[in-house]
Structure 1
């Protein structure tokens, strides 16, 4: 029996039987059904008890009432709603504060569940899973999609007049074993046989290298895929090599290059009329604009992508877009709206259960669930409900600025070991990808927070490529300087002011309010004037800019002939920070070489 929704009354379609209005259920039965709507199409009594934090046996009466009302039925050893519309109806009745509470208690979306085979995998979903970057090097597709994926690939190649053998070669790279996928992709590349399989192999290798944190190699394979020609792919596949490269470039803040690839992917999608690719393009473009700090344009692109994805029942790109919108809503101080968006994202994932859970959705879940929660409770929830955020590098690949947030939270909760673990992970990413300044800045940012190192935070504030991360580094540095030097420290005020300017430019109203209040509280009295800093470097030309204490020490060590690495060991910072300070020293003193610096200092 299927149901439709009319004014919050569940009506069975094509029958004369009337289902009960939601208001006719007892309060316990209504709460039971609302919790079940969060858990998904298939659930157990134990899962509902976990969400509601009550004993399992206490759920029996509510279960009996909902079953008798024709809302829920047994499906083997599990339970399910009679119709997806029934689940949506109960989901729509949950107030935002209750949603936030349930989000804190419920399992992360998609974890530990067996999806329904009849809704797993479509032709378009196969292409997205195979060609777009994944959160890890594990399986690409849920096990139930194997046969559906095979049929979809064969159909795509047959309709394009291409040999079915190409489809078989491509499907050989869809296994669960990372090493096997890598070997098969390399074998197809080595064979030097032109065709769709070699293009897909290059994309697969690019995604595997990306998930492993080897970004330069991943980008090399991404460009290799484009060089092999997208015209050898079925028309509906052609947008994806450019789209997946654009997403990677966006994650490392190379926005202009990403724009070029998005334009190429958009042209291919429009030529083929591929609406799922168009939706995914809009979401990636929204992500790009969000990273660049163009929040109004980002919101428009994300809403457009979500709307299109929902119209064509593409749950995964809709969930991606909603997760990003929830972040934007939180930054604007709209917690209720953010909770609604995370809730909708969960519903989209549950409507497409073949999709594997994403760290992006877990991160959005965590941010909304912990909004307004103290640091200790937030860390407890992080460890208990969202361990994937701590065990995967994918979160830091998607947004290096998230590492600073985790370290800041861990230190506030007194969990320095957790803060150290996050710092080490980000430092390893930076070491492995030295040519990408975003990771270097992120590593210095977390190191500065962990060790309370102003030099590292100053480096991060200057070198972060995204305005969100730069603003956070200025705020962190201002707070540290206030703690060290008191409320009337002029440099602290300047960094807090810089943070406010950046937050205001990107529309982060909650951050502007927070930092403005801190600055107002610590502002200097009108008649106070900061004492001029004494020049500390001897024999400098009159009127030359003043070096900070850290710059002065580094200048003398460099003048003694030490390398950047040796200087870093002496002053307990990284070579990247030394290099940053050295550039500042050269600029301030008007010198262009270490020899000139040595002459001036000596």
Structure 2
């Protein structure tokens, strides 16, 4: 009723946003922010009505304080609401196995919502968004982007909270004009007068007018005054606030004091049994089960029926489906605040025991565990209470780790604070927190926690256990030197002759070998890893054996021995039984067994393991490199752009931004757009990890390649010199994303008079070829570099022949172009023209520009050519689409989802999404509806 008086402007703006969403076919976000009782829920209800009138399919629900620890609870309450939910039963069932693989979970949700969105616009309305669980907030943040080109309007209402869910979601919107933010203010005098006349049918009497003036336009206070309650005659301003309980993000609720006083007066007028019901319910939450109240009060539920009726008649409670709810959050909070702090804490602690006896999971009772501690300092609790609370938080964390490891880590950190320094449970709790932070890819937080645990460790065994779990975060941060030194110190103090410490000692040796495999002493690391592997196999220690095998694989890769790396990586995979690790994919890529590498990556993306998604960014990077090497630059670009998208969706994946930009720089550079390549180089430079030598080396090489393409040989020589210096200083003998650049380095160095640089590059390529016999690309690159160094036409002819037998189209086409240049320099013009014709065809086959070959070869194109080159692709329109983009556009335009199109084309859904963004840009459209019209028009024509 009155909650919408004075909200005409807000409703007009909401209606305009709904119309724009339906008309454009693009997603939008409406946020509604305001203090408690200001009318957010009423406005949200009105907006859903407007949406229904406009043909939207609506899903509406909200967060609950008591459910904020339950993964995806808030979003599912919306998507599964009503007789025809937005999320079908089948789609909902598919989510069960994906809670521990969040990227796949969100992709599945996006595919599921795309189905009803293809039939018509959707409205997803979330009330009380301040209580949304972490996974729901994350999912909505990503879905805003995944469904950017679908007619979906998201409406979220919440209390003010700096950097709360509304701020984070608004910042994640796919485009600025997709967001509209409403902040509800108190009603103005005219709105209040209209509300009063509508309710009473007349103007208020002077006494009521005075009370309404004191309500200061607060809708809930005004409505309550019109409903008959009156404040205490103490002269207190009805708009004056009083502090309430803490909310997420540190926000504090400000309850209207007159409402608090009025609720307290109502409590005084109710029978004691009704007051007890209200106070117990207030502790349980805004909505609660009567059976929980009965169990907590240890009385039959039938004894609560009369008190419930009294509370309903007083306007304090109402029926909410099978549950009971307070009339408004503010009413519940007023009752809650009326309880003495000690009573609140005691009721929360009783609720913990009651819910556990009723079979509720520990995650359900976490709010009560924390509520029992809110008004009590840890040191004021007895040892038994502290251990019990910490134990419950650990149990809840174990339930949450699979779906929301970050939330689990926060609970475990809280549990750690509860335990005294001399508690025997402290180390295990800390290690669980470290593991949860690592599982959530919070590697910096995990490293900080691990180092704090080391400072507390009182025995070498305890320190060893910490180092074993700290190894992952430190390696992710490229702090291998710190890891090696710490493990060495602990090994010196740790005995290996008793059954408790011996396994830790052996696994620490394996960790040390793994950390050393990245350093300049990789040969020594190989010997150490072999020793550990022998001991581990003799003792049957699978963990130590797997770590030793990974150390062998990394050492071999660093030394450029791909077959050895592949053997060790495969043995490690057979031991852990999960998806392929990056080391195996990298070895297969180095050996140019691309189809096998693609198969492993595809298998890894579908594997049902809780740790599978954590390898996703590195696997996407590996796939982008593989396709780049194979000359499938459209796919390489799509994977690299997806990697950047992952970095935006998951802050933890941002470590791979530099790699993604380096791939994109190479793609656009090969197409002649050196300016765009420079922008990617600068973006990559901003994302470099200080300790990641390979990142820095790759960036120098890409920098040099772009400089040559722009005709700046001196700058290219500087960049290539830095790259080779890094290789020497860090003992990098193996392949990285740069290993195919040796011929280009030789070519540029010779033109610039830097022969020593050319000789070093050619020698490096030759040594690499010796370590990898029989691999066409590696052998051909070495022959190519040597032939350029010596101006050997026959040698380069052999390089071209060898490269033609392998899958590396780019290096073959560049070698063919260089051969044409050498032939021209040798005055063998007819042969040079024929070589250039073949090189041009090869370059064109993968969309490369002539800037990547010797300029002397390019000069040959001024001669009459036997074969006519096709006209360049236009920048926009249907003809601007690549073959891959056309295949995607045609299928999506006929109603296919990203998932179904991906299955038809044998690519991943995110590759389809990337192609689709490019299609929209080239066609000048912004929705699937418009694409359907384009495809239909072409079919009709």
Same fold (TM over 0.5): yes
Corresponding position of 1:474 = 816
Corresponding position of 1:378 = 716
- Aligned-partner Cα distance in 1 for 2:844–2:813: 10
Query: Which of 550, 559, 567 is the equivalent residue of 1:220?
Result: 567
The farther-off stretch of 426-435 and 450-459 is 426-435
Given that residues 303 and 321 in structure 1 are in contact (C-alpha distance below 8 angstroms), is that contact kept between their aligned partners in structure 2?
A: yes
Given that residues 700 and 722 in structure 2 are in contact (C-alpha distance below 8 angstroms), is that contact kept between their aligned partners in structure 1?
A: no
Question: How far does residue 318 in structure 1 lie from its aligned partner after superposition?
Answer: 2.1
Q: Mark the CA change 1:279 to 1:497 in structure 2 (over 3 Å): closer, same or farther.
A: same
Corresponding position of 1:282 = 620
Given that residues 131 and 204 in structure 1 are in contact (C-alpha distance below 8 angstroms), is that contact kept between their aligned partners in structure 2?
A: no
Question: How far does residue 407 in structure 1 lie from its aligned partner after superposition?
Answer: 0.5
Given that residues 283 and 306 in structure 1 are in contact (C-alpha distance below 8 angstroms), is that contact kept between their aligned partners in structure 2?
A: no
Corresponding position of 2:557 = 210
Question: How far does residue 409 in structure 1 lie from its aligned partner after superposition?
Answer: 0.7
**Structure 2 counterparts to residues 93-492 of structure 1, below 5 A:** 127=472, 141=480, 143=482, 168-173=508-513, 174-175=515-516, 178=522, 181-191=525-535, 192=537, 193-227=540-574, 229-231=575-577, 238-239=578-579, 241-268=580-607, 271-272=609-610, 274-313=612-651, 314-349=653-688, 352-353=689-690, 355-356=692-693, 358=695, 359-368=697-706, 371-383=709-721, 387-388=725-726, 393-394=732-733, 398-464=737-803, 465=806, 466-485=808-827, 489-492=829-832
- Aligned-partner Cα distance in 2 for 1:140–1:294: 35
TM-score computed with the length of structure 1 as normaliser: 0.56
Question: How far does residue 369 in structure 1 lie from its aligned partner after superposition?
Answer: 5.3
Corresponding position of 1:521 = 862
What is the CA deviation profile of residues 466-522 of structure 1, one whole-angstrom value per residue up to 9, with x for unaligned ones?
111101111011011111125xx2221111111111111111135489788523324
What is the CA deviation profile of residues 261-311 of structure 1, one whole-angstrom value per residue up to 9, with x for unaligned ones?
21332234x532644411221111111111111111121111112211343
**Structure 2 counterparts to residues 570-589 of structure 1, below 5 A:** none
TM-score computed with the length of structure 2 as normaliser: 0.37
Secondary structure of 1:185's aligned partner? helix
Q: Mark the CA change 1:223 to 1:381 in structure 2 (over 3 Å): closer, same or farther.
A: closer
What is the CA deviation profile of residues 557-584 of structure 1, one whole-angstrom value per residue up to 9, with x for unaligned ones?
xxxxxxxxxxxxxxxxxxxxxxxxxxxx
The farther-off stretch of 465-474 and 419-428 is 419-428
- Aligned-partner Cα distance in 2 for 1:140–1:484: 52
Given that residues 404 and 445 in structure 1 are in contact (C-alpha distance below 8 angstroms), is that contact kept between their aligned partners in structure 2?
A: yes
Question: How far does residue 131 in structure 1 lie from its aligned partner after superposition?
Answer: 9.6
Q: Mark the CA change 1:263 to 1:453 in structure 2 (over 3 Å): closer, same or farther.
A: same
Given that residues 119 and 353 in structure 1 are in contact (C-alpha distance below 8 angstroms), is that contact kept between their aligned partners in structure 2?
A: no
Q: Mark the CA change 1:345 to 1:335 in structure 2 (over 3 Å): closer, same or farther.
A: same
Corresponding position of 1:493 = 833
Kindly name which structure, 1 or 2, has the bigger radius of gyration based on alpha carbons: 2
- Aligned-partner Cα distance in 1 for 2:720–2:597: 32
Which blocks of at least 5 consecutive residues in structure 1 are unaligned?
A: 1-12, 15-115, 133-138, 151-162, 232-237, 527-602
- Aligned-partner Cα distance in 1 for 2:592–2:728: 23
Question: How far does residue 142 in structure 1 lie from its aligned partner after superposition?
Answer: 5.2
**Number of aligned residue pairs:** 383
Q: Give the aligned CA root-mean-square deviation in angstroms.
A: 3.9
- Aligned-partner Cα distance in 2 for 1:257–1:360: 25
- Aligned-partner Cα distance in 1 for 2:619–2:786: 35
Given that residues 202 and 222 in structure 1 are in contact (C-alpha distance below 8 angstroms), is that contact kept between their aligned partners in structure 2?
A: yes
Corresponding position of 1:553 = none
Given that residues 121 and 145 in structure 1 are in contact (C-alpha distance below 8 angstroms), is that contact kept between their aligned partners in structure 2?
A: no
- Aligned-partner Cα distance in 1 for 2:837–2:724: 34
Question: How far does residue 447 in structure 1 lie from its aligned partner after superposition?
Answer: 1.5
Given that residues 703 and 716 in structure 2 are in contact (C-alpha distance below 8 angstroms), is that contact kept between their aligned partners in structure 1?
A: no
- Aligned-partner Cα distance in 2 for 1:459–1:426: 16
Secondary structure of 2:480's aligned partner? coil
Given that residues 120 and 145 in structure 1 are in contact (C-alpha distance below 8 angstroms), is that contact kept between their aligned partners in structure 2?
A: no
- Aligned-partner Cα distance in 2 for 1:198–1:384: 37
